[in-house]
Amino acid sequence: MKKPVYLDYQATTPTDPRVVDYMVPFFYEKFGNPHSRSHVYGWNAEAEVEAARAKVAAVIGADPKEIVFTSGATESNNTAIKGIASFYKDQGNHIITVQTEHKCVLDTCRHLEQEGFDVTYLPVEANGLLDMEKFKSAITDKTILVSVMAANNEIGVLQPIAEIGAICREKGIKFHTDAAQAFGKIPLDVDAMNIDLLSISGHKVYGPQGIGALYVRRKPRVRLNALINGGGQERGMRSGTLPLALIAGFGKAAEIAQAEMAEEHTRLLKLREYMYEEITKRLPAIILNGDREQRLAGNLNLSFSYVEGESLMMAIKELAVSSGSACTSASLEPSYVLRALGVEDELAHSSIRFGLGRFTTKEDVDFAVNLLADKVQKLREMSPLWEMVQEGVDLKSVKWAAH
Amino acid sequence: MAYSTKVIDHYENPRNVGALDKNDPTVGTGLVGAPACGDVMKLQIKVNDDGVIEDAKFKTFGCGSAIASSSLATELLKGRTLDEATTIKNSDIAAELALPPVKIHCSVLAEDAIRAAIADYQAKKGLKASA
């Protein structure tokens, strides 16, 4: 077993060896600029790019012509939101998104607020899911864009994308979804779900970092103003020479994800449920953050009550995981996603995101469970809060001196 | 977070973890901090008839440096008289552990815990004397 055990698949995934093998020739013997029209190096490169485009499109039921390659989901989200806002600003200035979106969506929306757009940041319920009634009542005749993520990066919850899409289509509002975490993990169909724009990341699906895509609907046509101007590649929506090897790898990763999605989902769901059951069997006072059912198979986000986040992270150094604790982030604020769920600060501080993926084994999970059971127990024995709770003290009734 | 080897040592092998009977008249208990701030320290001292701290225990909910600060505090307290104990400063703890600037508040909390424990002991004694 390789230590630390990697349980951070929502941060990034290792590139699948089959993807790496597939990519290698495109760096040297099969190299070429896909935009070169005058020789075979260019033609072959272009053929590979188009093949990859078709593989990515197939995962979401799109036409290959609707796929625009970008540097990743952050660029895709920026392109979609700023591009739509700028193109359709004469039709309205209102955008709806959700408080638990990825920072790159929230920050893009804040940027647009400075340019005069009105943005509604919808709250979520305690399970992390959107209340459809609240969503519907947020729509105004000025609403031009709705951006709701398919799967959350911290708590893995799956928003009701199809329902949102149906409402947006009925009202003639453009619907964008950040599917960085969902692509290749859950079934997505842009037609059935009425999705107009969809962001994809390569490195979250065992492809290389630095490549992603934006799906932009052609029928009915969705238009946007480009962020990056230049040679007019990617139907003018994203200029710049396409990175051949990255795109080839991304295409291969998409092809594998589509072929193995169902099987992988079943295996990961079983593994995650096993992990959750084992941890809660051995440790009391564990809280699951986010809905248990409407959730990515490979995500488990737990709060370990009465222990502090940073000391917990120090105790489980042999696990590569992410924490909602302030101490591990630059902002000194606990996770805004957990706050949006109404999770108290002390529980947000002691939250750990376990991300399971393609190469996670039962042995890895057993190691993690044993380590957690041992270390959390030790930290609780050292915790005055745990001691007070054991003595029957209600911690909320204590007058703490804030410092 | 790059911690000094002393912090890591106190975190991995904390000294004097545990609890003393808080109802014992010779025991002073200090509870400082708040869960929402991410630090709560409980520090206890047991004082003998000569006014010397013969035992000290702690429990801490907090980051690595909070645990290390309280662990070190119990070591510093043992064997000191109450007067000597009041001279322990947060800067002594911070310097000994080489705490990074963002963690200085942990040593401040440890000093607060020492003072709170002493005050509790003295209050108990005062109550007993007047009874």
Confidence of residue A333 (pLDDT cuts 50, 70, 90): confident
- Domains of chain A, residue spans: 5-10+261-390, 17-257
The pLDDT of A154-179, averaged and rounded, is: 98
What domains, with CATH codes, occur in chain B? 3-130 (3.90.1010.10)
pTM for this one? 0.92
Asked if A402 is an interface residue toward chain B (Cβ–Cβ < 8 A), one would say: yes
What fold characterizes domain A17-257?
A: Aspartate Aminotransferase; domain 2 (3.40.640)
DSSP A323: E
- In the annotation, is A327 catalytic? yes
pLDDT tens for each residue of A208-252: 999 999 999 999 999 999 999 999 999 999 999 999 999 999 999
Residue B59 is nearest to which of A314, A382, A403, comparing CB atoms? A382
Cα(A389)–Cα(A165) distance, rounded to whole angstroms?
46
DSSP A328: G
pLDDT tens for each residue of A307-328: 998 899 999 999 999 987 655 4
Q: Which token pair is A242?
A: 């396409």
- Residue in A with minimal Cα distance to B36: A346
Q: Which of A314, A316, A252, A284 is nearest to A389 (CA)?
A: A284
CB contact under 8 A, B33 and A306: no
CB contact under 8 A, A381 and B17: yes
The architecture in CATH of the region A5-10+261-390 reads Alpha-Beta Complex (3.90)
Residue B59 is nearest to which of A309, A326, A387, comparing CB atoms? A387
pLDDT tens for each residue of A64-116: 999 999 999 999 999 999 999 999 999 999 999 999 999 999 999 999 999 99
Contact present, B59 and B19 (Cβ < 8 Å) = yes
Question: Which three-class secondary structure state does DSSP give residue A336?
Answer: helix
ipTM exceeding the 0.85 mark = yes
**Least confident stretch, A130-134, B96-100, B124-128:** B124-128
CB contact under 8 A, B35 and A402: no
Q: Do domains A5-10+261-390 and A17-257 have the same CATH topology?
A: no
Confidence of residue B130 (pLDDT cuts 50, 70, 90): very low
pLDDT(B131) > 50: no
The reported pLDDT for the residue numbered A319 is 97
The interface residues of chain A toward chain B in range 146-185, judged by CB-CB distance below 8 A, are none
Task: Residue B61: list chain A partners with CB under 8 A.
Answer: 306-308, 382-386
The reported pLDDT for the residue numbered A302 is 97
Asked if A403 is an interface residue toward chain B (Cβ–Cβ < 8 A), one would say: yes
pLDDT(A330) > 90: no
Confidence of residue A271 (pLDDT cuts 50, 70, 90): very high
